[in-house]
Amino acid sequence: MITLSHLTMRLAGGGHQITILDDVTFEIPDKQRVAIVGHSGSGKSTLLGLIAGLDRPTSGSIMLDGTDISRMRESDLARYRRDHIGYIFQSFHLIPTLTALENVLVPLELAGTSGAQTRATDLLKSVGLGDRLHHYPVQLSGGEQQRVAVARSFACRPPILLADEPTGNLDSVTGQQIMNLLLSLHRECGATLILVTHDRTMAASMERVITLRDGRVESDTRIGSDHLPAESSR
């Protein structure tokens, strides 16, 4: 269970405080697929980064399976992220000096996982990159790089998977392939999936759509309603 309680994020700018998120409160049950949508600047990526423990809120709490990560020491938080959270970035964030296989091996080796080489190889094969194991990022297309990033995010079998515009730098066909891959791995691993997106079609493949406007939750829609919130469209 992910529980956000009265989450607020403010940053200093221009001599005054800028509110990025304002009193955000909601819960996400285990294994649910959730899209977070809204106009640019609505706070979507900031919210995802807070859930991932990449930043700390100004106030409020973030509970992941009963653990308040907003109050963890940085060293403990880093270990918690490694073991519990997979994160997929829009811009891939692969290590350019490592091969596809080595990129996927990084979290496994940090976690001291036995059979890491086999696990990484099997994951890359499952995302259709069995013949690209020893290629460097520069030798891969954008879609292939994102497949490596997806495999890496699932490497340690995290119970929570976060994706920030994972198809934003891809063409529509490749983007749909990545989305299908995410959904397939989600079903296999049973992870909670939270996706930030501007894409209405991607949002429609989730079970729930949370719309942000000006840093606040404007609506929380279960898929199966007559329509998605307008902010989820491009």
Spacing of C-alpha 145 from chain mean position: 16
pTM (2 d.p.): 0.84
Residue 58 maps to a domain = yes
Asked whether residue 6 is assigned to any structural domain, the reply reads yes
* Structural domain includes residue 43: yes
Per the structure, the complete domain to which residue 154 belongs is given by 2-222
Residue 50 in domain: yes
Q: Which residues pair with 222 in a beta bridge?
A: 208
Total count of domains within the chain: 1
DSSP 22-71: EEEEEEE-TT-EEEEE-STTSSHHHHHHHHTTSS--SEEEEEETTEEGGG
**pLDDT at position 224:** 53
pLDDT tens profile 192-233: 999 999 888 888 889 999 999 999 999 999 985 444 444 333
* Residue pLDDT, tens place only, 91-102: 889 999 999 999
In a domain, residue 228? The reply is no
In a domain, 231, yes or no: no
pLDDT digits (tens, 9 = 90+) for 56-89: 999 999 999 888 998 889 989 888 888 899 898 8
Give percent of the chain above pLDDT 70: 95
Which of the pair, 26 or 79, is modelled with greater confidence?
26
Does some domain include residue 205?
Answer: yes
Q: Give a yes or no: residue 233 inside a domain.
A: no
Task: Say what the pLDDT of residue 148 is.
Answer: 93
Residue 44 maps to which CATH number? Answer: 3.40.50.300
Integer Cα distance of 50 and 125 in angstroms: 32
